[in-house]
Structure 1
């Protein structure tokens, strides 16, 4: 008898605890503030905005048939577990400039209708595992946040993802463990972060894709790219690799093997190791300007441009400057060796 009563008491306590937790999730947003939510009934339709007294009402409204939902410049600091669960109609969710700093795993549980998530200009610092995994989203935009940490599998297991935008965050380290089981991934945007290097087999999970993958690392602090950075990609081709405005001091032609369009302008590269033509390929010479190339390298690049009848003012100016400096150096040497030169000195 006592045992039965104890079991019932524990069961009631558990139910009460779960009820209170669920209540906390909903009421964390309740305040005297009003919230404005904008929505579209269908793709291409006009935007309609509506005011709600609290976020509980916002969530209930989102469970009805609205294709796109937008929340701009509202007080929305955190998305709790299950808050956007089981959305059946919403295809695009936009939360811009709302001070969002945390998303709990399971926040979008079962929301298989959502295809695009756009949380730009917030205060996110970490992407946790279990937030976006196993959703059917095609586009994830987390640009202009404060992201420093991406947990190893936080950006994996997204079967339909095509584009991930992490532009203008605080990411300093690229992790090869990201992007596992993302068969449709086409574009990665990492511009304007503080990434220091590209590690060995960095893109090993981007294998055997039928389409080219575009990777943008412009405006970082990359000094080193591992010689095997692009190994284990099998048949995958890199359509665009942008590494302009970094701190690279070398580039090896072997790295260009699977890259269609390479951009390494505005670095500290003195010359390209290996076959220059193999690195430049059919790319515009503009993709290689603003580096402190040595004269021999400038001569070879200019020759490639001449063969293709492509004129680059930057390379031409630098090459002519090299020739001028080289000729001046040779003339000085001849003057020193010329026995007919008379040297006058002051008494």
Structure 2
């Protein structure tokens, strides 16, 4: 394994007429030049001073970090001296404006970080010379308006971070050139609709803490793997609008209705802290999290549904009764969480169709009656939680062997 060689150049440029630059080099030998990394750190600089820096291109990777500086405006060709750098970090420098051509000459740039600044708009063609860029971080600015051609030329961009701005809408034309985009972050914006457009490579989208009320976009043509829309105002969700996923996160919304449960092809589904009153289990879901909803009963599972389900979390709902028919078809279920509901009776053989169940949480219900052996068939049960009910733990011990009771 090659060791990573790091060359650090710390550049302190005074702001008086006798500006000087001192350098400190610390080079760790490496067996291959391709493993070397040069980090150039400039402090207390202006954009004009950067043009005076004596930069030498290297055959290995180089990064430029601007720190402890105040640069309100990036002028044309601000970084023309740094043609060989792959990473440019411009966080928290008070940046308010990017002029056309500011990034000209950065022929190898892959990562551009502009987070924590004071940008309010993105002009047309602001990044059109950055054809090699992979990652663009614009998070935590004050961006409210993005012009249609702001991202033109970014044909190789794979990650776009727009979190923590003041964006209310994202026109579909914004993304026309972003054919390689894989990850899109747009959380913490006053968005009212989801970003629209064709995303042929999009794998992950995160939309948290917004004003989105409806699922207005169909992502079935994208190879989406991770979809997260939490802490927003979503009132209903149609599973037909998303393709096969690994993870679907819709927590802390106002969802009352979920359409087409049966079309949901997803490993992990989380819908906790919503207003859902009923649910179905699709054939391919492995984990289903529905705690803190308004569910009052568990309906019969249709044939073939729930055949892969391993975890079902229904804590903090309003379920008052469970029967043996509540868990039909769930033969692979390992973890069942029913804590903080209103269950009063455990009927005989109620869990008989759950042969692989390992953990059962019935704590903090209103259980006062335990009929003859409700745990019949639970051959692998390892942990049973029953505290906070109206019967003693000892009343359960005669029905379960080699099981921890809490």
TM-score, normalization by structure 1: 0.70
**Which residue pairs with 2:137 in the alignment?**
141
Question: 1:222-233, aligned counterparts within 5 Å?
Answer: 222-226=212-216, 229-230=217-218
**Which residue pairs with 2:317 in the alignment?**
318
Q: Are residues 273 and 122 of structure 1, via their aligned partners in 2, closer, same or farther at CA, if it must alter by over 3 Å?
A: same
2:125 maps to 1:103:
no
Residue in structure 2 matching 1:272, options 258, 262, 265: 258
8 Å CA contact 1:266, 1:291 repeated in 2: yes
Q: Distance in 2 between matches of 1:239 and 1:36?
A: 48
Q: Distance in 1 between matches of 2:22 and 2:208?
A: 35
Q: CA RMSD in A?
A: 3.6
Q: Distance in 2 between matches of 1:36 and 1:169?
A: 36
**Which residue pairs with 1:18 in the alignment?**
none
Identify, as 1 or 2, the structure richer in helix. Answer: 1
2:189 maps to 1:203:
no
Matched position secondary structure for 1:238? coil
Gaps of 5+ in 1: 1-29, 328-347
Q: Distance in 1 between matches of 2:170 and 2:96?
A: 22
Q: Are residues 37 and 186 of structure 1, via their aligned partners in 2, closer, same or farther at CA, if it must alter by over 3 Å?
A: farther
Offset of residue 150 of structure 1: 0.9
**Which residue pairs with 1:19 in the alignment?**
none
Offset of residue 257 of structure 1: 3.6
Offset of residue 312 of structure 1: 3.8
The one-character-per-residue Cα deviations of 1:286-328 (angstroms, maximum 9, x if unpaired) are x211111114664569959965453344x1441525877799x
**Which residue pairs with 2:267 in the alignment?**
283
Q: Distance in 2 between matches of 1:189 and 1:99?
A: 22
Matched position secondary structure for 1:290? coil
Offset of residue 94 of structure 1: 0.5
Offset of residue 49 of structure 1: 4.5
Gaps of 5+ in 2: 1-13, 28-32, 281-294, 323-340, 345-406
Residue in structure 2 matching 1:60, options 31, 52, 58: 52
2:206 maps to 1:216:
yes
**Which residue pairs with 2:241 in the alignment?**
255
2:35 maps to 1:75:
no
Matched position secondary structure for 2:317? helix
2:150 maps to 1:154:
yes
Higher normalized contact order (CA 8 Å, seq sep 6+, divided by chain length)? 1
**Which residue pairs with 1:337 in the alignment?**
none
8 Å CA contact 1:158, 1:181 repeated in 2: yes
Q: Distance in 2 between matches of 1:151 and 1:123?
A: 17
Q: Distance in 2 between matches of 1:318 and 1:295?
A: 11
8 Å CA contact 2:318, 2:342 repeated in 1: no
Q: How many residues align?
A: 286
Q: Distance in 2 between matches of 1:257 and 1:52?
A: 49
Matched position secondary structure for 2:66? strand
Offset of residue 128 of structure 1: 1.2
Q: Distance in 2 between matches of 1:37 and 1:259?
A: 52
8 Å CA contact 1:63, 1:89 repeated in 2: no
Q: Distance in 1 between matches of 2:181 and 2:279?
A: 40
Q: Are residues 123 and 44 of structure 1, via their aligned partners in 2, closer, same or farther at CA, if it must alter by over 3 Å?
A: farther
2:167 maps to 1:171:
yes
Q: Distance in 2 between matches of 1:119 and 1:37?
A: 26
Q: Distance in 2 between matches of 1:127 and 1:39?
A: 36
8 Å CA contact 2:151, 2:177 repeated in 1: no
8 Å CA contact 1:35, 1:51 repeated in 2: no
**Which residue pairs with 2:348 in the alignment?**
none
8 Å CA contact 2:122, 2:147 repeated in 1: yes
2:119 maps to 1:124:
yes
Matched position secondary structure for 2:267? coil
Q: Distance in 2 between matches of 1:290 and 1:302?
A: 23
Matched position secondary structure for 1:144? coil
8 Å CA contact 2:193, 2:215 repeated in 1: yes
Question: 1:302-317, aligned counterparts within 5 Å?
Answer: 303=301, 307-313=307-313, 315-317=314-316
Offset of residue 238 of structure 1: 1.4
Q: Distance in 2 between matches of 1:54 and 1:99?
A: 11
